[in-house]
A and B are shown apart, each in its own frame.
Chain A
């Protein structure tokens, strides 16, 4: 999903690109201490960090080589290194569901998952559900107008996809309970549940 294209205003200049440009100077200074200080081998167990270490992340079916510090969360690497900005940073403790991604088939919060913890795992983000032929859940969200400010929407879309994958014939009540881990400040729950129900009826 090319989100910065959608964010392009009349000036042909996106907000995200502007912010990226203006912060480049600051970032260059901060990174001048040098990357990759990886230590290894303590009694046979590989110990890495605290500096950056290389990691292969499989995101949406594609392998990405990244340099990460052990303290970096999956959400930080997805957003700031891989430019996959669908998953949102909202609650730092993962209590809102806005950073929901699917890792090895399970819906988890990228905000409370360390990037290194995803080594060798298959990560699926909301971007994989977009594209020219979007996932049924994305279409249902558009049809039901299931968003207001939209900030929680990517998390909800992934959560609905993961929930319906596990419970393809869910009832309205089951959907309500299943989506309890996602919060919407605007209160668009009604339409989100309608969108999820649409997918159940349409056969997912």
Chain B
């Protein structure tokens, strides 16, 4: 690990003062489950690390008029165990699926949302866009994107919780660069596909951070489903979350979001269209799943992910509506 200076401030304002306006100079430490490993591998080499876990205002689960507000450094196991999460089984299912009580106890919701991608070219020092995408296109791309992968970015979004939270209509409160500056950004607009190495996979500036996540009370039936190779702490091969409003036995509103398939969480308008006005059953869920993957453009080694994504969408929809499905 490269040597760095360290601070553990106790207020949001102090955190912002310590952050550099330039990428790569400072890193924000929350749970450290991913950052510390990346620093050991010298993939991330900051001059300064700012630990934000001592800031009390960034921790905790609170009911507000806007919905359920979860502080960025709240640990994932505390979120899973909180009775406030009762209406949001999709979030609980994703945390339970992390497959490691250590990761859940140490990891934080803000850290998950800002987690760097799992692309093995990125994690072995070839950069996020790995020679403008050519390394991935010509190399081993079995875990890479099947949507939005024509440009240089072919990795898949690193966050596990983002698909569920986007389906639930969550937004994040972002603070900085100045202490009095804050913005509420819908999580569906938080992620973006970088086009060059100076861009990140979300809209944050280097001197901004996520302070809270707010899940509004929309009363949507919801569930998440991840397709994993085993039961351990490995990354899913495909994932989906669904949030539905079902009135009079028919879907009147729907949000279907896929994970592990694109450089951002992938909101499927096609799946939504297929579900609207329909009752939820095996055949309508399957039709929505078919619609969700119809425009997939797999790379040379990941066509198998199209079927896995299809299964994830189908099962997430069925589970959201309270049906039993196969799988774990």
Residues of A near any B CB (own CB < 8 A): 39, 42-51, 69-71, 73, 92-95, 97, 100, 106-109, 111-114, 116-117, 119, 159, 162-163, 176-181, 183
Question: A49: which B residues are within 8 A, CB to CB?
Answer: 3-6
* CB nearest to A102 among chain B residues: B105
CB < 8 Å: which of B36, B75, B77 contacts A112?
B36
Contacting residues, chain A, for B77 (C-beta < 8 A): 106
Chain B contacts for A93, CB-based, 8 A:
33-34, 36-37, 40
Q: Are B37 and A48 in touch, CB under 8 angstroms?
A: no
| Cα–Cα distance between A97 and B33 once the two chains are bound (Å) | 12
Cβ of B87 under 8 Å from chain A: no
Residue of A whose beta carbon sits closest to that of B34: A93
B68 within 8 A of A: no
Residues of B within 8 A of A45 (CB): 7, 9, 14, 17-18
Across the interface, name the chain A residue whose C-beta is closest to B2: A71
Complex contacts, A107 vs chain B, CB 8 Å: 101-102, 105
Q: List 27 A-B contacts (CB under 8 A).
A: A42-B18, A45-B9, A45-B14, A45-B17, A47-B5, A47-B6, A50-B3, A50-B4, A50-B5, A69-B3, A70-B5, A70-B49, A71-B3, A93-B36, A94-B103, A94-B106, A106-B75, A106-B105, A108-B102, A113-B36, A113-B106, A116-B8, A119-B8, A162-B101, A179-B101, A180-B99, A181-B99
- Expressed in whole angstroms, the Cα–Cα distance for A45 and B48 within the complex equals 13
In angstroms, Cα B11 to Cα A46, docked, is 12
Q: How far is the CA of A94 from the CA of B32 in the complex (A)?
A: 10
Q: Which of B50-106 contact A (CB under 8 A)?
A: 51, 53, 75, 77, 96, 99-103, 105-106
Chain B residue with minimal CB distance to A104? B105
Q: Are A48 and B14 in contact (CB under 8 A)?
A: no
Asked whether B106 lies within 8 Å of A109 as measured between CB atoms, the reply is yes
Chain A CB within 10 A, most for which of B32, B34, B77, B96 = B32
Chain B residue at minimum C-beta to C-beta distance from A53: B6
Q: Is the CB of A117 within 8 A of B29?
A: yes
Minimum distance in angstroms from B27 CB to a CB of chain A: 11
B231 surroundings in chain A (CB, below 8 A): 176-177, 180
- B32 lies within 8 A of A113 (CB): yes
Q: Which residues of B contact A (CB under 8 A)?
A: 1-9, 14, 17-18, 29, 32-34, 36-37, 39-41, 48-49, 51, 53, 75, 77, 96, 99-103, 105-106, 231-233
Among B8, B17, B39: residue with most chain A CB under 10 A:
B8
Q: Which residues from chain B contact A163 at a C-beta distance below 8 Å?
A: 101
Contact of B7 among A47, A108, A177 (CB under 8 A): A47
Count: A-B pairs, CB below 8 Å:
122
Q: Are B3 and A114 in contact (CB under 8 A)?
A: no
Given contacts A42-B7, A107-B102, A176-B231, 4 further A-B contacts (CB under 8 A): A48-B6, A112-B36, A114-B49, A180-B100
Q: Report the bound CA distance from A165 to B4 in whole Å.
A: 36
Nearest A-chain residue to B1, judged by Cβ: A71
Which chain B positions have C-beta within 8 A of A50? 3-5
Residues of the B chain whose Cβ atoms lie less than 8 Å from the Cβ of A113: 32, 36, 106
| Residue of B3, B4, B36 with highest tally of chain A CB at under 10 A | B36
Given contacts A70-B5, A116-B6, contact A181 B232 (CB under 8 A): yes
A111: chain B residues within 8 A (beta carbon): 36
Decide: A71 and B39 in contact? CB cutoff 8 A.
yes
A84 to chain B minimum Cβ distance, whole angstroms, is 18
The answer for the CA separation of A48 and B8 in the assembled complex, in Å, is 9
The answer for the CA separation of A179 and B104 in the assembled complex, in Å, is 12
CB neighbours (8 Å) of A47 from chain B are 5-7, 18, 48
Report whether A43 and B14 are in contact in the complex, using a CB–CB cutoff of 8 Å.
yes
Top 4 A-B pairs, shortest CB-CB distance: A181-B100, A93-B37, A70-B6, A50-B3
- What is the bound-complex CA distance between A144 and B167, given in angstroms? 46
When distances are taken between beta carbons in the complex, the residues of chain A under 8 Å from B4 are 49-50, 70-71
Q: Is the CB of B233 within 8 A of A95?
A: yes
Tell me the complex Cα distance, A12–B100, Å: 40
A112 & B6 in contact (Cβ 8 Å cutoff): no
Q: Are A106 and B106 in contact (CB under 8 A)?
A: yes
Select the residue from A45, A50, A178 with max chain B CB neighbours within 10 A.
A45
Q: Report chain B residues within 8 Å CB of A70.
A: 3-6, 49
How far is the CB of B112 from the nearest CB of chain A, in Å?
14
The residue on A at minimum CB distance from B49 is A70
Are A114 and B36 in contact (CB-based, < 8 A)? yes
Q: Within 8 Å CB of B2, what residues of A?
A: 71
